[in-house]
A and B are shown apart, each in its own frame.
Chain A
Amino acid sequence: AQSVSQHNHHVILSEAASLELGCNYSYGGTVNLFWYVQYPGQHLQLLLKYFSGDPLVKGIKGFEAEFIKSKFSFNLRKPSVQWSDTAEYFCAVIPTNTGKLIFGQGTTLQVKP
């Protein structure tokens, strides 16, 4: 079955620390990839997406993600986190032959001021 796995369930960082959240998916075909963020009490918002082209994509708020096809991975990175980045982050995949968005379990990021 198709699935998305996020390695870290809960990450705690101090401000200015670097962030990397892991995401792997299990599907052998073509996929489109997304990272969503959910701030406390709010709805999911799109951070960035990858469809094709340069595997290093840049999103909003200084986030970026790298698609490594050989590793089935799409890790999210930010060089220097801020307290306002405290949120839950979801990796999501759409296999192009199904069109169904499959979410990972989410990673809760807590940034200490």
Chain B
Amino acid sequence: DAGVIQSPRHEVTEMGQEVTLRCKPISGHNSLFWYRQTMMRGLELLIYFNNNVPIDDSGMPEDRFSAKMPNASFSTLKIQPSEPRDSAVYFCASSRGPDSNQPQHFGDGTRLSIL
């Protein structure tokens, strides 16, 4: 079975540009999570969806960040405008449901560098 698929794997862009990260969860998984990983702050949950509905976006750092899940097989995380401090690895994860006993499966991540 295919795992969580993220694209692009790497993104380098200049500050001020719009960045869109994409995620395809595992088929049949109803919950989707976006994380950011940095050396300073470790892994942080940004937002998660259940059945395509955003449940908790309290981890989204600023209004420059937005996430959508238009259907069960696709989600985007957008940063507009991007800033150098947004440079990080962004992971998408999915699970069968929101219950705490459902392990999350992670994608390979998008390594984002904002110049």
Which residues of A are in contact with B by a Cβ distance under 8 Å? 31-32, 34, 36, 42-46, 49, 51, 90, 94-96, 98-106
* B11 contacts the other chain (CB 8 A): no
Pick the contact of A95: B44, B100, B108 (CB < 8 A). Answer: B100
Nearest-CB residue, chain B, relative to A45: B106
A42 to B89, CA, bound (A): 11
The one of A43, A44, A99 in contact with B100, judged by C-beta atoms closer than 8 angstroms, is: A99
CB distance from B109 to the nearest CB of A (A): 6
CB distance from B103 to the nearest CB of A (A): 5
Q: How far is the CB of A75 from chain B (nearest CB, A)?
A: 19
Residue ID in chain B nearest A102 by CB atoms: B45
Q: What 19 new A-B contacts, CB under 8 Å, besides A34-B103, A95-B100, A101-B104?
A: A32-B100, A32-B101, A36-B106, A42-B108, A43-B3, A43-B4, A44-B91, A46-B104, A49-B103, A51-B101, A90-B43, A99-B98, A99-B99, A100-B45, A102-B45, A103-B42, A104-B42, A105-B42, A106-B42
- Determine if B25 is an interface residue (Cβ-Cβ < 8 Å): no
Q: B49 an interface residue at 8 Å Cβ cutoff?
A: no
Minimal beta-carbon separation of A3 from chain B (angstroms): 11
B interface with A by C-beta (< 8 Å) = 3-4, 33, 42-45, 48, 56, 91, 93, 98-101, 103-109
Please list the 10 inter-chain residue pairs (A to B) with the smallest Cβ-Cβ separation, ordered nearest first: A103-B43, A94-B100, A44-B106, A43-B106, A105-B42, A96-B100, A43-B108, A32-B100, A51-B101, A99-B98
In the complex, the chain B residue whose C-beta lies closest to that of A4 is B42
| In-complex Cβ contact of B107 among A43, A101, A106 (8 A) | A43
